[in-house]
Amino acid sequence: MNDTLLVVTTVPEQQIARNLAKAVLAENLASYISIIPHAASIYKWQQDICETDEYLLLIKTQQSCYSRLQTFIRANCRYKRPNVIALPPRHGLPACVGWIKESTQA
């Protein structure tokens, strides 16, 4: 599926999620961002098992934008080590893939 990526990240608060999503779109680093509230995250941090509610962002973008997107998220997220994972979709509607390409710039 050419250059398309689904980037997943989390943030601690709704307003941070909304601000980050709007800023990413304004920078043309993504075409569409879904914010899923109250994602229960359970993780190991410094030998402790932690549990928290987070906001999950699903970011539709291109491989050519990933480096800038990752840098942007790191600079605009409160976490010391934000989770940023990029997944290449195996399939997608051609119109959707085309829209992602048209809406983003490298």
42-79 confidence digits (pLDDT tens):
999 899 999 999 999 999 999 999 999 999 999 998 88
pLDDT band at 1 (very low <50, low <70, confident <90, very high): low
Residue 99 has pLDDT above 90, yes or no: no
Residue 17 has pLDDT above 60, yes or no: yes
In the chain, the amino acid numbered 72 is F
Buried b (16+ CB within 10 A) or exposed e, 32-57: ebebeeeeeeeeeeeeeeeeeebbbb
Instruction: Please provide the distance, in angstroms rounded to a whole number, between the alpha carbons at the two ends of the chain.
Output: 17
Is residue 56 helix, strand or coil? Answer: strand
Phi, psi of 46, rounded to the nearest 5 degrees: 50, 50
